Structure 1
Amino acid sequence: MTYKHISALLGCTAFALTAFAAPVTPFADNNGQIPPSSEYSGPLFKLSHSYPSRAPVPAMPWRTAINNGLITTKNAGAYADALKAAVGRDMRVLIEDYANWNAAKRGWYNEPWLGAQREAIHGMYVGNGMLDTSLFKASGLTKPMTTYVLTYYDKTAAQTLQRVWKTTAMQPVITTASTQFPEGALIVKASFITADPTVWPVMEGSQAWPLYITVDATTGGYKTPKVVNTYFMQFDIIVKDSKSAPKTGWVYSTLVYDKNASGKTVWDKMVPLGAQWGNDPQANSTTDPSAPLVENWINPAAPPYGSETLGWGGRLSGPNDGAMNDIAFTVGGKQQLVKNAQDSSCMSCHSTAQWDVKNGRMPSFLLPATSNPPTTAGPDGNYLVSPAPGSAEWLRWFQNRKGTVPMDKGSVATDFDMVLAFKSLPAWYGATSGKKAQLKAADPAGKNRVMMYNGKELVE
């Protein structure tokens, strides 16, 4: 697996391993690196963690948009538009008017234990350490880029954070009941990139956010933190909706920036890339590439760059999401190496969200892999060892399971919440138990650095 692809598939789990030697501070706002006033003098990120124990049943206009029926490939566009409208009032302030953003007052909340990874200005952490130009040839990316992400839970979803973490976040309650989200729960994620419009023309006119960072694949990074402008590229909205999507209980929607879209503001120009509400297990996209997807919709009017990194068989996955990776697998006794293979999707990745309470880990990896921690192969050890695409083992990642059903027996399903299962819980476990079972996936060499594979440092 190459630098870019390890970074892509593990970027969303880029643990700041050095943080575990620091004092136990589950509600830290940031990594302790504050920009000097000479570089930045605006507001700093504040973690919102006064989780409500109760909240009224929310209005669900996305259901009304499809006449309270099932979501389908024909009405998914209306559903995605309704989701965008439902969060738009708050997200316009977050994205376009950050000086007036107050998450707690608006009823949006963050997960604990990730302060060591968060930069100070916007509370963002590395999404993908490096996505290189080979993934975006058609849209003209001229230099690699790093993505940064920020996740918020609305007050309905935050009831689950309260059940799991309580007030101290020191002794999480991990049961099937505690980890389930109420109907109508919304979780959003904003993704910004280090590639500016001169590096990637599709970003012309996008919203710029200053971040205080060291990891920047576009420039090669910095030895000490530096305030750098990043650009708004992707916005994900996921909703617990068992009525519209009864097979999984969730609908995933991804928006991408379109400089040519109508509207006056950047938020106006965020258009749906697509929606996904199941893994289409009936469609083996390897043995029958023409098999239709009936639980997945891709917007034909979305900007072309958004579709350059779709997942297996064209399943939904945004440019930030790392659904294309270099993989190694065996067919007929012969090893095959494939670059930029489509091997994931939004829901296939999140459906692996589970926690082995006894061993403090997720048993299966995010992507189809023969082990967790994953192993690598190839001439330079640069390819993820994977089940053969389309095989029975591969298809374990592309089943429809409800949020109460774990992928692996003996684990607790965390209702598609990958932040909980693959970030917050491992960070808590590493900080409080003195063990790093889950973190070996990010640091198999046992070095106290971030994301080492085969001696290669991927994220500093």
Structure 2
Amino acid sequence: MNRTAFFLLGFSIFGWTSAAQAACPEPENKEFATVATALFNCSSARPLKGAEQERKFQIHYDFPQTTPDSSGLPWLTIDPLREPASYMQAILIYATKSNAKPDIDWRIEDNKVESWCHAPWFQALREPLHGMTSERWSRPLELHKLQKDWARNWAVGIYNDVACYGLGTIWKDPTFPKTKDFSFPDGALGIKMLFTTAMPSQVPYLTGSKEWTVAAADDGSTMTMRMLQMDISVKDKRSPNGWFFGTFMYDATQPGDTVYERLVPVGLIWGSDPDLSATTYLEKAAIAKEGWVNPAVAARFYALPRQNLGLFGRANGPVDNPKSACITCHQRALDWGRAVLPKSPDEEQANALLPDVPYDPFDDAAAKAYFRNIGQDSPVPNTQSLDYTLQVSKGMTAFRNWVFTEFPDHAASTTDITPYPFKSSTAENTPANPAALATDEFKAGTTIMNNDLFTK
């Protein structure tokens, strides 16, 4: 395999076409196992322009061989249903005590006191300076009444040692991920930091927030982004569905010597509130009961067009889709056991099977189909749940699509679950250009963002 061919291998499934964009090291040979392992260990295949001398993002896999002791985790002594803000604060302190130190600054490979890791198979989407990936863009007026422009949002996620053990059970062999009967142990924690291009002049509460230089442009050019939001996801058997999802936001008006002390809890959620619909909300004054939203934060968004953070008052972050809710979105994580190529008939079927944000939130039937409580089940029968962790799900999709596209003879032998029987799964139905997928599917003007609009 020549150098150009390998470089294209790493990210062809995401629609990039220029070999000059590649940054993955060349493998020693063109054998499947060698190439798969090289891509697994690649930190970023995205381009970099104008900041070549800056420190680069380094993928870090610290997968314990045995389940870490989680009995001493500080949030376990706090009742999340009665004291959600205190529960969240304990998690925030735990996550930032070492990672947020200036000499580490979320470079988790430099943290010699604790074990943290990244999720595999995002090399095609992670920008090369901080390992950030593109998130949903914020429309004008979604973040503040002065916000007149679209804002781009990017994020980086890390996992604690308990979660890393779970990731290691899947990726013990980089050429053969095993997802059968997968679930994370209690105490697994994910942290996601979200940064935005929104300026303090339009979103005043961002004044003084943490700034990073991010290579977010398609050509690798950099832009300054500010920390707006921090998400937490924690596996906790006290949740009716097994997980708690929470969100913090930066607020310049809060006291504190550091940006992390000025993070305020937005909300904590443990269920989707299936019975909370447009009808019950508007006609019966129903409220979300399977979560908590900080009333002080909710009040500052109520006057904006979005009105609520999550649909009809469910917990959600400022960057997130106001027609959704944290846990509802994340429970969609699954493994189809096979490739689901972009723009293929299989993808059309997958999209129809997997409940998604209602196009019209005032359609009670559509909303009820999306806002479900599924416990530990998979959101689609006859598929493997990936335990509410979308980075695992998206990484698995990237791996399976790459195998099918570049090494189709290995597709069947690299899954330990039964592939989902899509009706149209034949070679004839493979799209002429299986690589066709925009590098930023959440940007302004795209179909996915247009469908994010309220229709009433």
TM-score, normalised on structure 2?
A: 0.74
Partner residue, 2:225 = 230
Matched ranges for 1:175-214 at <5 A: 175-176=180-181, 179-214=182-217
Matched ranges for 1:14-413 at <5 A: 16-18=14-16, 24=36, 25-36=39-50, 39=51, 41-58=53-70, 59-66=72-79, 71-72=80-81, 74-93=82-101, 98=105, 102=109, 105=112, 106-128=114-136, 130-138=137-145, 140-167=146-173, 169-176=174-181, 179-214=182-217, 224-242=219-237, 244-245=238-239, 247-289=240-282, 290-302=285-297, 310-321=309-320, 323-324=321-322, 343-358=323-338, 360=340, 372-373=350-351, 386=359, 389=362, 391-403=364-376, 405-413=377-385
Task: Rate the CA distance shift 1:264–1:19 in 2: closer, same or farther, 3 A.
Answer: farther
Contact persistence 1:150–1:189 (CA under 8 A): yes
Q: Percent identity?
A: 23
Structure 2: any 5+ residue segments left out of the alignment?
A: 1-12, 23-34, 343-347, 409-421, 449-456
Task: Rate the CA distance shift 1:371–1:114 in 2: closer, same or farther, 3 A.
Answer: same
Q: What do residues 378-424 of structure 1 show as CA deviations (whole Å, max 9, x unaligned)?
A: xxxxxx87476453453132222223x01111111111011111x20
Contact persistence 2:339–2:397 (CA under 8 A): no
Contact persistence 1:43–1:99 (CA under 8 A): no
Give distance in 1, aligned partners of 2:193 and 2:139: 20
Give distance in 2, aligned partners of 1:30 and 1:358: 24
Give distance in 2, aligned partners of 1:85 and 1:262: 16
Give distance in 1, aligned partners of 2:130 and 2:286: 42
Which SS does the other structure have where 2:130 is aligned?
coil
Matched ranges for 1:408-447 at <5 A: 408-421=380-393, 423-434=394-405, 447=436
Aligned-pair distance for 1:431? 1.1
Aligned-pair distance for 1:457? 6.3
Code of the residue aligned with 1:17 in structure 2: it is: G
Give distance in 2, aligned partners of 1:401 and 1:256: 28
Which SS does the other structure have where 2:228 is aligned?
strand
RMSD: 3.6
Code of the residue aligned with 1:80 in structure 2: it is: M
Give distance in 1, aligned partners of 2:436 and 2:340: 20
Aligned-pair distance for 1:204? 0.6
Contact persistence 2:200–2:206 (CA under 8 A): yes
Q: What do residues 15-39 of structure 1 show as CA deviations (whole Å, max 9, x unaligned)?
A: 8332899765122111253455xx4
Q: Give the structure with the higher percent helix.
A: 2
Contact persistence 2:99–2:108 (CA under 8 A): no
Which SS does the other structure have where 2:154 is aligned?
strand
Partner residue, 1:336 = none
Aligned-pair distance for 1:299? 0.9
Contact persistence 2:272–2:373 (CA under 8 A): yes
Task: Rate the CA distance shift 1:360–1:209 in 2: closer, same or farther, 3 A.
Answer: same
Q: Matched residue pairs, number? A: 383
Which SS does the other structure have where 2:296 is aligned?
coil
Contact persistence 2:144–2:202 (CA under 8 A): no
Give distance in 2, aligned partners of 1:101 and 1:415: 24
Code of the residue aligned with 2:288 in structure 1: it is: L
Give distance in 2, aligned partners of 1:99 and 1:391: 42
Give distance in 2, aligned partners of 1:393 and 1:54: 43
Structure 1: any 5+ residue segments left out of the alignment?
A: 1-14, 216-223, 325-342, 363-369, 376-383
Code of the residue aligned with 1:102 in structure 2: it is: E
Which SS does the other structure have where 1:313 is aligned?
helix
Contact persistence 1:256–1:306 (CA under 8 A): no
Pick aligned residue for 1:450 from 429, 439, 442: 439
Give distance in 1, aligned partners of 2:339 and 2:401: 12
Give distance in 2, aligned partners of 1:278 and 1:40: 45
Contact persistence 1:451–1:457 (CA under 8 A): no
Compare 269-278 and 306-315 and name the one that shifted more: 306-315
Which SS does the other structure have where 2:121 is aligned?
coil
Aligned-pair distance for 1:53? 2.0
Partner residue, 1:333 = none
Give distance in 2, aligned partners of 1:187 and 1:19: 32
Task: Rate the CA distance shift 1:35–1:280 in 2: closer, same or farther, 3 A.
Answer: same
Code of the residue aligned with 1:237 in structure 2: it is: I
Partner residue, 1:335 = none
TM-score, normalised on structure 1?
A: 0.74
Aligned-pair distance for 1:201? 1.9
Partner residue, 1:337 = none
Task: Rate the CA distance shift 1:132–1:288 in 2: closer, same or farther, 3 A.
Answer: closer
Aligned-pair distance for 1:356? 1.8
Contact persistence 1:444–1:452 (CA under 8 A): no
Q: What do residues 91-147 of structure 1 show as CA deviations (whole Å, max 9, x unaligned)?
A: 4227x852975356331101111112111111111112x322142353x21321110
Contact persistence 2:206–2:228 (CA under 8 A): yes
Task: Rate the CA distance shift 1:93–1:261 in 2: closer, same or farther, 3 A.
Answer: same
Q: Give the structure with the higher percent strand.
A: 1
Give distance in 2, aligned partners of 1:385 and 1:315: 15
Give distance in 2, aligned partners of 1:274 and 1:407: 24
Q: What do residues 424-448 of structure 1 show as CA deviations (whole Å, max 9, x unaligned)?
A: 011101211118999x9xx999746
Matched ranges for 1:5-16 at <5 A: 16=14
Which SS does the other structure have where 1:302 is aligned?
helix
